[in-house]
Each structure stands twice: as structure tokens, then as C-alpha cells.
Amino acid sequence: MSLTSLTAKELGKKIKEKEISVKEAVNDTLDAIEKKEDKVNSFVTVADKDALLKKAEEVQKKIGEGTLGGPLAGVPIAVKDNMCIKGLLTTCSSKILEGFVPSYTAEAVKNLEDAGAIVIGKTNMDEFAMGSTTETSAYGATKNPWNLDHVPGGSSGGSCSGVAAEECVCALGSDTGGSIRQPSAFCGVTGIKPTYGTVSRYGLIAYGSSLDQIGPVAKDVTDCALILETISSYDRKDSTSMKREGLDFTSALKDDVKGMKIGIPRDYFGEGLDGEVSQAVKGAAKVLEEKGAVLEEFDLGLVEYAIPAYYVIACAEASSNLARFDGVKYGYRAKEYEGLHNMYKKSRSEGFGTEVKRRIMLGSFVLSSGYYDAYYLKALRTKALIKKEFDKAFSKYDMILGPAAPSTAPKLGSSLDDPMKMYLGDIYTVSVNLAGLPGISLPCGMDKKGLPIGLQLIGDCFQEKNIIQAAYAYECTREYRHSPLSDVYQVGGRR
């Protein structure tokens, strides 16, 4: 059995107890990637083996000396390719960042490295995190480890498929409109999008700055809590970073939901939700009720306005954030051009993919003279109303429960031709980003096709512990299902 079938915590423990060495963990991970990468394509870049082994040695030494004693010391981790890492190719899965090697490391990754985790490589994603399928990558689509004809979801598809395929034990993703929670659901793994401002965005290549958050992707709630605890920090380099309390997320890993009030929005179970998904999510709610949680259905309101508001805001910010990719300072420059503006246009038109161009165009349009009030300001006002709806809900409930996505993973190639349909798939996730809330997605069943279904728990701002505790309690009633690409996969999904 490969070590990648373990959880991060289990692997860290074996390393700490000298049952295995950091080198073995690294080698095993590299072997797993080598063996499975042809099938799933989770990675854009795998770090250089010699450099990794050297780092493994350093970490091993520090563990020996006792200077590194945390649970993630020596644990290999994969990082979504929109986080800058010094000396490591960073592409955002775009041709326009061809060959870009940053001179700085994202704060979240630095926090991991300080804890002794070893970055094994950069995972594939939708280009600039724009997409819900990981098919818009310039480096080819990623496949769903449960069924290679299906998408892994997106945009953190590579991180989620990597964990599900057991190429690595855990990963970092980023979530702007559901990009951690939705692919986690599709791949049968667990992912958290923390409260906005909890994890520094320094070094995260921006898509929608007011919505982007980095978060963990792992096999279980425990690993997610552990990783989130490690990457969260107040960072002076990020003005939107929050000085906040209660970052000891692992303290919430308690199998106890007695008296917890859980609101279930009727609006999340209406038209458009797949029947099997609905059933599985309701089943999960029932489990929590049986464990002592108090469930109540309610009307959340404004659910249908979240997607239009989200696309206006995200695309507007993206049109500005992605202006810097112009062929002057880094990345791709067109080979032939006439003059400055032609150089800009050609480099950008050749460097960006269709979906990115689509969103940049829309974003430029909604900010342009004469449309700013009608679109952009209106979207910001809608965002304020949506936040209010959530505030109202959280005055009554400790958390909100619902699906992470309206269906299980669609087939490869079935989404790109109808972008509107793809955007509508974000219905249960985007409002969480608009309101800055934390959300967790974890497996709660399989559909008849054998594809995982995800349960989403949404917490109030800064109340990650509530959703972590409930998710943990739910998880305690279930056993982890390894995907067909796992070494320990068994038909029927049991270990």
C-alpha cells in the first residue's frame, strides 16, 4: 500500500514516530504521481526530485533535533498552481504565464513550509481559476479519479483529483465561487473555504480579489482542520487579512452536535437539484439530527440573485487583475507584433484561453462608461442584501446545511459549450463567497453512476469551528471511500 492512502495526520504521525522517513514519504508520493498522472493529469508541475530529497533531509534533521514537531512535519503537500512559490514554475494553468518562476512564496505556503510540510508540486486548475471543470487549463483537462470520463470539478480540480487519486495526501486549493467545495464534492474529498481574510492572499494570483480565499483539500475533516490551522495567519502584506481569534480549528474536532441549530434553506432543494444529490444531502441532515442537532427548514431568500451578482463582481475584478499579463514583465509575449498596442493585444489574445477572455470582456464591459452603476454598483448592492439574508439566518442557526453542487460530476466536454449552464452549477457556493462566509464540503454518498456527492455546511463569519465540529461528527458515522485509483480501492468502496 502506498503511503498516499493515509491521511496527512497518519502520515505525519508515522514520520514523527520514525516509523518512516521523510524521504520515504516524498519518494512514495513521487511514485504515486508517476503511476497515476497519465490517467488523471492532476499536476502542472512536479518539483525536482533532487531538490525534494534535499528538503526532505533538512526537514528530517529538524525533526530529529526537535525544532520541527508539528503534525505536518515531513508531509508532502500539493499546491494549486495559482499560488506563487519561490523558484517553482507558477502558471495558473495559462499559457500567458509560460515559464514564470516567482521570486517570492505565497504566505499560506510559507506557513506550511515553516511547519515542515514539503511542496511536492503544483496542481492543475481552470485557467486563472475561471471555470468549474478544470477543462480550461492550458495544460489539458484533469480527470475525475472516480470515473475518468468525468470532470473533477473546478477550479481546484487538480488538487481534489490529486487527493482522491491518492497521488498526494493533501493539497491547497483556492475558492472564489466554490472552487474548493465543488471539486471536493465531485472527487469525494473534503475541502474548506475559510472566512474571507483568514488565510493571507499574498502570493495567490488574484481572480476576484474580494472573493478569493485559499483553503485545504484532504481526505477528512481532521486533515482539513489541521492544514487550515497551519495556513491561517494575520499577514501585514495582505491589507484584507483579518486579526482574528479562534484559529485553533483542531479543537473543534469533537463528535458532538447536541443542541446545534442547523438551518436548511428550502431554496437549496428546489428545481435544478438532482434527485440523488438531494436524497443524500437530506440523509446526511438526518444523521446529524439523530446525533442531537436541531434541524429547521427556512427561506434563505435572494438565492437566485447570487450568481448574477457574483459574475458581475468576479469578472469586473478579474478584468482589472488580469490586466498585468501583458507580455512586458513576465510570461508569454507574442512572437510577431507591430507596435505596443498590437503587442498587448496579440500577447493577450494568444496567451489567454476562451473562458478567461469571455470573463475579461464581460468584466471590462460592466465597468465601462455608462454601465458601472447599472451593473457593477447594482451587484455590490445585491451583495449587501445577500449578506443581510445570511446575517438573519445566522441569528437563528449555528450553520446552514445544503448540497455543494446541484449534480455530481458531469462528463468531460459537456460543459464548455454552454457556459451559462456551467455558471448555474455554482448556485450553492457563490453566495458564501459574496458574504465572506466559511464553508466546508465533505462526501455524503454516491450516485448510481458511482460518483461522489458532497454535503456543504456553511458557517457564520469566523465560526469555522461550528462547521468543522458538525462535519467531524457526521464523518464519524461514515467510512472513507477510496477512489478506484487508490491502492486500497475495493469494489463497494470499503477499505
Active site residues: 80, 155, 179
Residue partners of 350: CB distance under 8 A and separation at least 6: 95, 332, 334
Q: What strands, in cross-sheet order, belong to the sheet with 43-46?
A: 43-46, 118-123, 76-80, 170-175, 213-218, 190-193, 439-446, 452-459, 399-403, 261-265, 294-298
Site string for another protein, 440-479 (x = CB under 8 A): ---------------------x------------------
Give dist(CA 141, CA 356) in Å, integer.
15
User: 362 or 453, CB closer to another protein?
Assistant: 362
Q: How far is the CB of 406 from another protein (least distance, A)?
A: 16
Q: Does 357 bind another protein (CB under 8 A)?
A: yes
Count other C-beta atoms under 10 Å from residue 255's C-beta: 12
d(CA 102, CA 203): 9
377 forms part of the interface with another protein (CB under 8 A) = yes
User: Between residue 99 and residue 128, which ones bind another protein under the rule CB under 8 A?
Assistant: 99-104, 106
374 with 367: CB under 8 angstroms? Answer: no
Using CB under 8 A, pick the residue from 71, 116, 177, 327 that binds another protein. Answer: 327
Total site size for another protein, rule CB under 8 A: 96
- What residues from 284 to 323 belong to the interface with another protein (CB under 8 A)? 302, 304-305, 307-309, 311-312, 316-317, 319-320, 323
Q: Which is nearer to another protein, 295 or 380 (CB)?
A: 380
Q: Which range, of 150-158, 235-243, 267-275, 481-489, touches another protein by CB under 8 A?
A: 235-243
Q: For another protein, which is the closer residue by CB, 293 or 422?
A: 422
Instruction: Verify binding: residue 395, another protein, rule CB under 8 A.
Output: no
Instruction: Kindly tell me which of 258 and 335 has the beta carbon lying closer to another protein.
Output: 335
C-alpha cell at position 445: 454518498
C-alpha cell, 307: 450568481
Is residue 443 within 8 A of residue 456, CB to CB? The reply is no
Q: What's the one-letter identity of residue 179?
A: S
Report the C-alpha gap between 289 and 259 in whole angstroms. 9
Q: Cell for 49?
A: 526530485
In this structure, which long-range contacts are made by residues 134-137, counting pairs with CB atoms below 8 Å and at least 24 apart in sequence?
Answer: 134/158, 134/161, 134/183, 135/412, 135/413, 135/415, 135/416, 136/93, 136/353, 136/354, 136/355, 136/356, 136/416, 137/44, 137/93
Distance in Å, CB of 326 to another protein, minimum: 6
Whose CA is closest to 12, among 259, 278, 230, 337?
Answer: 230
From 367, 416, 446, 476, residue interacting with another protein (rule: CB under 8 A): 367
365 makes contact with another protein (CB under 8 A): yes
Site for another protein (CB under 8 A): which residue of 375, 397, 428, 480? 375
Site for another protein in 74-103 (CB under 8 A): 83-84, 90, 92, 97, 99-103
Nearer to another protein, 194 or 445 (CB): 194
Among 74, 215, 331, 353, binds another protein (CB under 8 A): 331
CA 194 to chain CA centroid, Å, is: 10
Out of 2, 279, 364, 414, name the contact with another protein by CB under 8 A: 364
Among 146, 186, 332, 474, binds another protein (CB under 8 A): 332
Reading the block at residue 436, the C-alpha cell is 465572506
